[in-house]
């Protein structure tokens, strides 16, 4: 790879990592969310408190965990509590600043599907399921979502709503009695989307370098709109790329793989 070059996956992970504030208490999903959250901890947010649903609080894994039950999370945590305490006291008690989630499908109001593709009773594909995402999406003070963008993932209508975004838009979330603040950003390999203040529909606020509006339109299952002040995402810095690639290399070595995906 040429000096200064980077992949779309690296751009996505770094852009997502930038969103996590130092000192934030963050409930982390496995996969892309975990990569972004741990990269943030290595770069600008050393005091972020990473929580995983298996019970670790303040986890500082030197490599990315394989699952929420990976021992490296408990071994590097400040403390470990029971799963009921994580959910009831920390999450539902309003003590989590940020929920960091992934998605299989997403709609224009940032509702997430990780349950089934097709009819629920006779699905075409059975997805991994909910895990703690429904509770995270409804109880965290704010939610970040990281997902690769395509017409398969950005759909006009979800086959199933696993985790609530803004439901049907507007104040539907509040009317449903949901207490958490909801999604504040969706970070993809093409752009960053944020909910429009009134409609709560996702609109493009930032496009990644070398990405065109037409590319974004082609990979979105609804008529996507762009913020009037849409900007270009800052490209990854050398420090950000070095930290991400070092993390991936350590993870690959630890898990016995030639490569590790972001």
DSSP three-state, residue 1: coil
List, in order of start, the domains of the chain with CATH numbers. 8-256 (3.40.1080.10)
What pLDDT does residue 20 have?
98
d(CA 148, CA 58): 27
Q: Which residues pair with 144 in a beta bridge?
A: 100, 185
Phi, psi of 17 (to 5 degrees): -60, -35
What pLDDT does residue 257 have?
67
Helix spans in the chain (H):
8-18, 32-43, 71-76, 83-85, 133-139, 172-175, 213-218, 238-255
Instruction: Give the count of beta carbons closer than 10 Å to the beta carbon of residue 129.
Output: 10
Residue 1 has pLDDT above 90, yes or no: no
d(CA 26, CA 5): 30
DSSP character at residue 77: S
Q: What percentage of the chain reaches a pLDDT higher than 70?
A: 96
Residue 261 has pLDDT above 60, yes or no: no
Mean pLDDT of 83-95: 96
Catalytic residue among 53, 135, 201, 219: 53
Q: Does residue 232 carry a catalytic annotation?
A: no
Mean pLDDT of 101-110: 97
d(CA 222, CA 213): 14
Q: What percentage of the chain reaches a pLDDT higher than 90?
A: 94
Residue 256 has pLDDT above 90, yes or no: no
The DSSP annotation for 93-112 comes to TT--SEEEE--SEE-TT--E
């Amino acid at each position: 790879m040429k000096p200064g070059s980077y992949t779309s996956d690296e751009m996505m992970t770094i852009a997502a990592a930038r969103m996590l504030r130092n000192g934030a208490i963050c409930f982390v999903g496995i996969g892309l969310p975990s990569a972004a959250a741990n990269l943030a901890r290595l770069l600008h947010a050393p005091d972020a408190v990473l929580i995983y649903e298996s019970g670790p609080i303040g986890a500082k894994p030197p490599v990315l965990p394989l699952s929420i039950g990976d021992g490296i999370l408990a071994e590097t945590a400040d403390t470990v509590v029971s799963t009921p305490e994580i959910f009831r006291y920390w999450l539902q008690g309003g003590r989590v600043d940020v929920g960091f989630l992934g998605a299989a499908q997403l709609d224009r109001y940032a509702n997430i599907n990780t349950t089934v593709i097709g009819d629920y009773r006779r699905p075409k594909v059975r997805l991994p399921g909910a895990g703690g995402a429904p509770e995270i999406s409804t109880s965290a003070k704010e939610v970040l979502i990281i997902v690769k963008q395509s017409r398969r993932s950005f759909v006009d209508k979800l086959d199933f709503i696993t985790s609530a975004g803004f439901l049907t838009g507007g104040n539907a979330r509040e009317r449903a009695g949901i207490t958490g603040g909801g999604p504040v950003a969706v970070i993809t390999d093409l752009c960053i989307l944020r909910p429009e203040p009134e409609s709560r529909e996702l609109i493009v606020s930032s496009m990644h370098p070398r990405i065109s509006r037409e590319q974004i339109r082609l990979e979105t299952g609804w008529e996507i709109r762009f913020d009037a002040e849409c900007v270009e995402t800052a490209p990854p810095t050398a420090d950000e790329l070095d930290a991400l690639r070092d993390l991936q290399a350590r993870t690959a070595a630890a898990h016995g793989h030639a490569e590790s995906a972001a």
